[in-house]
Structure 1
Amino acid sequence: LEIAHQVQTVVLDKTGTLTEGKPVVTDVVLAKGILRNRLLKQAAAVEALSEHPLAEAIVAYAKEKEVAFEKAENLTATAGQGVEADVAGKHILAGNLKMMQERGIQLGEWEAKAVELAEAGKTPLFFAENETFLGIVALADTLKPTSKAAVDAFHQMGIEVVMLTGDNKRTAEAIARELDIQVIAEVLPQDKEREVRRLQEQGKKVAMIGDGINDAPALMRADVGVAIGAGTDVAMESADIILMKSDLMDAVTAIELSHATIRNIKENLFWAFFYNACGIPLAAGVFYPFLEWKLNPMFAAAAMSFSSAFVVGNALRLRLFRPKYAKTTTALPKEDIQKELNHKEEIGMKKVLKIEGMMCNHCTGRVEKALNDLDGVTAEVSLEGKSATVTLSKDVSDETLVQTVTDAGYEVVDIQ
């Protein structure tokens, strides 16, 4: 708290923090003479060994197109460039423009095509087989619904916002223009911490918000590290604050709350000092020789108790805290909730609530207790499945179920 209210600059990771972290393939650009299946086959084979969101999207796309691919071997990752592996005796490169240039792969006119894709906010990945360029697979990751609102809220609070990412510069700049923020792109994982330190050396108090393993050093370096609840364990261990939901508006609320808390502490210190500055001289008889003012010990004791009650009461006002910058989205679209409300639920039916934000058994226990406290509801919550299975013995609306989970501090993202 003593640091959070002083934050002047917020540094944001892109993938999974500003964006959904679930990219999809948007374009497949083939080099001359290369068949589509050949590119997807080799791309999926290599990317199947990686856990990066971009790799998972490519594999999912290949499966969707029913492209069969073999198992890759000898996977090697190069930080800030990409990966490479052997597939059926052929060496496959999968990475960014820098990897292709360093390996001497001739791109020709396709380099300009990659620039065009990047300026449209897409991430182009290059693929080569031995010395032959195969083509480009472009992917796009959508912004989270509250990212724009959160950035605007930071700006209104007078806080500078910087996006720090290892993505292609043009892709990052396209997103930065949409959000109206500064961007530092093509940053290697080990250099994120250095960029945060550079901002600190300019005399700024820096908060870093991220979710990945690559963000951990930067989270530790920042004056305030904030980890997204759906992020990696390493990121959460490195952070000072963990957001229960993957919602940037919660980071705004955390800083607002820190301001309110520090303001409350200063008020209590002022009134305690003012009270004692007046009461102690009066009790000591300083004013008696001149004004014959004196303080009965019983009144002094009562006044001291009142002082303590005043300070505690002022502190309890924090329970009434409400964020100034309200969230602009709901757990479920209003029209979907209304549709469910208009539908009479069958008694005894089961429903599955997909819940975001649960990270431990304590979380599941809290959700399970909240749901079971509802009349006519029996619930079982699964941490692994991030879901709650509820059996209804009475007519309980979806809105009630959603609100119960929300009040417990978590978010319902789907009802089945």
Structure 2
Amino acid sequence: MKSLDHIFQPKVTKRHLRKKASKNIKEEERRLNNLGVPREIAERGLNTFRFTEMKKVERGVLTGWEKVRGNQKNDMRKYLIHYNRLETLTIQNTNLILPRSVKSHEDFTRYVLRENMFSDIFIELQQYKEKRSFPCILFPGNWASVSKDGKGIYHYFTNRPEGISVSLNIFDLIEITCSREGQTFAYHRRKLIDILGCSYPEQKWEEKQFNKIRTNLNSIKNAKENWETQYPSLFKLTQSYLDILLTLNSYSEKYVNSKQFSYKKETLFFISSRYLANNLNRDPVNVRRAINMFACLRIIEKVPPDVQGFPHKFLQSAIRIRGGVTNNKLVTFFIIPKITKKLLKDAEIKAKKLLKNKISNINKLNGRKVAEIFDDDFAKSIYYAKEMDIDKLALKSGVDLTKCKQANTFITKREVERMKLRQGTYGDDVIPF
């Protein structure tokens, strides 16, 4: 098992040590000035501090404290698992009442970082609540303390003698003790919310989105039993493409993160049809046609980036990652409504209308036909690519197209692998999703 020496006793160069000592000396000088210490006393204190710091450089000793990095947290977790240290920790649930001012994920994060919750969550820390330092509950041989930094954020400091102190905030500790490698910050936040037993408006919206996705997935998986008998026209049109609908719903889950990136109170997300086709081993053309059919039935909704209320940050993403096929081609954004009886009844009516007009499969569906069967506005809500004015959108979102490195959003995994095998590199233009 890999030791944690690289974290608590890292090998450093004299140049790095001198740089750190210089930084520490400047910070100490600033601290003394802010305290208003008389000049003569301050100079004596600073000389003593400088002498101590330079001695550390001579001995090659790195001291002080460092913020833990992502790869270090993974190493810590592996260490704790290997030596069964996680089994010695007891995490207790609480019933935290948040201030009314906490409405968003950002508010929650800011609040919990500035509250000392370590001993409320980790029972083993309760006996040390009033002590300045105590044996580390994670790493044998280390000493620990809990205090806050200059920004008011509380940290659990774990220090190895003759080594450095590493700081862990409450999210870091949750990530190390309650997570797996590769989990996102959003996952760690949701885990902490569960432990604290609290809620706030954006968290309730988030939970509602997850419930919607679970309901939708269950409905699609049971389509043959339920849709075939109750909504026969809908099932006839969609039965061969339900895997696409299932994947779209599953994929949207990773975008359930912030209400500010929503549209019509639903999670807004984007995905390349080529990427989707490659993962499902399908023809990209058929995937695009199937998506248009689901949009026509209003089981999914395509969201044009020029529509009123589209989040500006997502609008910037749409322009930055647009493909180089045409000047008006943008990656497609979607929202997915909850599949309810009313939605399915409305979809059945539309499906009957399509079948009545001899649209019996996705190959017969196109913008002209949809406009004839329904109306022009309805068709434009699905087939809108040629209506895009990229320059106008760029101006609206503040994106400088001359400095915008275009990404090929239609590249497939197989094409990426082939490019990797070629001589040289293929740059950064790989799809980011």
TM-score (norm 2): 0.26
Which structure has more helix as a fraction of its residues? Answer: 2
Q: For CA contacts below 8 A with separation 6 or more, give which structure has more relative contact order.
A: 1
Which structure has more strand as a fraction of its residues? Answer: 1
TM-score (norm 1): 0.27
